[in-house]
Each structure stands twice: as structure tokens, then as C-alpha cells.
Amino acid sequence: MIGVGSVAVTIPFGIVFIFSGLLINLIRAICLATVRPESKRAFRKMNGAVGELLWLQLVWLMECWAGLKIELHTDPETYELMGKEHALFMPNHPSDVDILTTWLLARRVGCLRSALMVLKKSFQYLPIFGWATWFSEFVFLDRRWDKDEGKLKDCPRPFWLTIFVEGTRMNPEKLKSAQDFATLKGLPLPMNCMIPRTKGFVSAVKHMRSFVPALYDVKLAIPKGQATPSLLRLLDGQPSVVKVHVKRYPMEKLPDTDASIAQWCRDKFAEKDEMLDQGLANGRFKDEGDNLCRAINVLTIWFPRLWSCILSWDLRTLPKLSPLSTWEGTSVIVAGLACVAMFVHVLIEYSKPSLKKPGDALDN
């Protein structure tokens, strides 16, 4: 349950997020109808800049309110390229806020507005948040890759396309199912990752290798003794720590055939599992090095607070016009709070992993 103090913060934040989200999506819809027919490039620049304002609020929620700490470990050459080149991002999926974690990392290296993702098709229908992913041109399953390929090629900024190859968030039940399936098929026994579902990964590599120079193999690890981050913990302001290890692979060095690409992916997840096992046991990755995360931009801290100050200023300076001065206004406020509670509930329920049969762990 969320504490009383946290409710006092998350409810105003929810109201700001919902109303600003509606406004931002409306602005993007207007730009889609008016600017895009004249210039696709100008539209995409405006669309990205406006959409980033919504993602910044979530980054603020993670880092400034909940105190989520990201530790990035990679080699200096890869670090210098992050955010400056197109890349396919391949992390494991240990928590229900990994999407937000990758955005926080993207913000640190300067590519938040072009941090894209492969998502379930139903995701785009979520109010506000899902609509924003559609406007941001995320890749949704069941769509044709040739259409998405053209959009990605024309992206005016370096982008990350994150694909969760495991297909679902890991939890004890899902891990046990994957282990049973691995035993049945004679595959390496997973301990810290799910068995990758390689069909979508193979398609992504085949269609993107001509214009995307690199694939980032990403390990997300929750240090021993730290609680796994979740949306409920973020809303409650409870801090967490996530260690991130990134290894860069030139796309041109990946195998050519479908079967060999799929096997390469499975091999990398086996290596990822072993590295995570060592990292969780020892508290650090092999050859971990220094934490390379850059400081966050001050706009991330003050943008949501500015919205909150504007709302509260109106109520302080215009008491006679306050909605609380009438029963009708009070009813509107109560209805608004109910909408916030329902919106948060939908996001929490949607972030929970679905249960599937053990045989669904591998999809080639």
C-alpha cells in the first residue's frame, strides 16, 4: 500500500501527468494534421520535442521522487558512442519498470526523445501513455517491419530501439516454467533470465542491419539486498538501485542466416545469465569499472514542479474561483481523483506479467 505522504505527492503528480498528457497528445495530433503534410522532418522534430516533456515527468518520478539510482558500466569507447548512433538495445527484463529504467538511461546520454521500443500492440491503446507511444512512432508487434524500417531510417536523431527478447518480465513462476522447458529441450538452465523468444529479434536484425551500426547487449541487475523496483514502489517514493552493464557489438559482425542469428541471441542470453549470476553473487559485474552515468538535466527536476506550482498558485490566489467553493466543483475534483486512481490502477495491472504455458517460453 502507498503511504499517506506519498499519496499527497502522487495524486497531484497524477493530475498534472493526466492533464499535461492530454494537452501534449492534443498538440501532437494538431501537428500531425497540419505540419506533417508539409514537412515530415519538421513534424518529427516538433513531435519529439513535445513528447519528451511527458517522458521527463516520468524520469522525475523515478529519480527525484523515488530515488531510483542507475549505475552504468561499460567501456569508454561504447560510452562515448551511446546516444550518438542508431542502436538496437537488447536488455533482460527483471522488473515491471524496465521501460522507465531504459528511458532514465537514455536521458543521461541525451537521446530520451528518440528512445523507442518494441511493445505489445495493445499498449498503444492505453490512455495518454499508450497514445504517446503511438505518436512517438514506437514499434508495435503484428505490424509490418518494412513500414517501420522506413520510419526508422528517416529518424532525424540517433535512436535506441529497445526489444525485450524474453517477451515478458521475469518472476519466480515464469522462471520455473522456463527452467522446466529448458530441461525438456536440453537447453542451458536459466537462473537469472528467461529463454529468449528469437523470432522478433531475428526480424529486427535483418531489417535494421543496413542502417543501424550497433547492437547493445544490456544486463540489468538488482544488487543483492536491494528491492526489485516496481511501479508501486516508485509511486510510494521507495528507492532502488539498478546496475546496468552494456557491451557493444557491431551489427555487421552478427551472423547472416535466420537460424544463426537466433542461436547467437540464445548464446548471448546464456552469457548474460552467467554474468548476472556472478554479478548478483559478488555485488559487481566482472570488469565492472566506474559508474559512468552523467548528471541529469535540471529541467527534469523542475518541469513537473513548475506545473504543480501553477496549479497550486491558481488555488491560492483565486480562492473565490476555487472548485472547492461549490458542491459542483468538489464533485469534479473527486471525479478527477477517481480518474487518477483508476489510471494508476490500470498501469499497475498492465505492468504485471501474464501467465503462459511452459512451451511458450521459446518462440523461434
Provide the H-helix boundaries in the chain: 4-34, 40-60, 76-81, 98-109, 129-135, 145-153, 172-185, 198-208, 231-235, 258-282, 298-317, 327-351
- Angstrom distance (rounded) from CA 240 to CA 62: 9
Please report whether residue 321 resides in a domain: no
DSSP state of 192: S
Give pTM, 2 decimals. Answer: 0.81
318 part of a folded domain: no
* Distance from C-alpha of 130 to C-alpha of 136, rounded to nearest angstrom: 10
**332 within a domain of the structure (yes/no):** no
Q: Is residue 329 part of a domain?
A: no
- Residue 16: the pLDDT is 83
**Residue type at position 306:** L
- CA-based nearest residue to 173, from 356, 359, 347: 356
92 and 170 Cβ atoms separated by less than 8 Å: yes
CA angle 26, 234, 68 (to 5 degrees): 105
Mean pLDDT of 62-88: 90
For residue 85, pLDDT beyond 70: yes
Name which of 121, 82, 85, 120 is nearest 102 in CA terms.
Answer: 82
pLDDT bucket at 248, cuts 50 / 70 / 90: very high
The predicted pLDDT at position 249 comes to 96
Confidence grade of residue 250 (pLDDT, cut at 50, 70, 90): very high
Could you count the other beta carbons within 10 Å of the beta carbon of residue 298? 8
Q: Alpha-carbon distance 204 to 88, whole Å?
A: 8
CB atoms within 10 A of CB 237: 17
| Residue 245 backbone dihedrals phi, psi, to 5 degrees | -115, 130
Those residues with Cβ within 8 angstroms of residue 29's Cβ, 6 or more apart along the chain or in another chain = 135
pLDDT at 131: 93
- How high does pLDDT run on average in the chain? 79
CA-wise closest residue to 182 among 361, 354, 357: 361
Q: Which CATH number covers residue 228? A: 3.40.1130
**Residue 312 domain-assigned (yes or no):** no
- 71 located within any domain: yes
Listed in sequence order, the residues at least 6 apart from 173 whose beta carbon sits closer than 8 Å to its beta carbon are: 355
Domain limits for position 130: 4-299+346-361
Residue type, 305: R
Question: How many domains are there within the chain?
Answer: 1
Contact 83, 255 (CB under 8 A): no
Residue 223: per-residue pLDDT: 84
pLDDT digits (tens, 9 = 90+) for 88-102: 999 999 988 898 899
Query: Which three three-digit cell numbers place residue 204?
Result: 529486427
Give the three cell numbers for residue 118.
Answer: 518494441
Residue with cell 539498478: 242
Q: From CA 222, how far away is CA 243, in angstroms rounded?
A: 6
Q: Is residue 97 part of a domain?
A: yes
Residue 315 in domain: no
pLDDT value of residue 126: 87
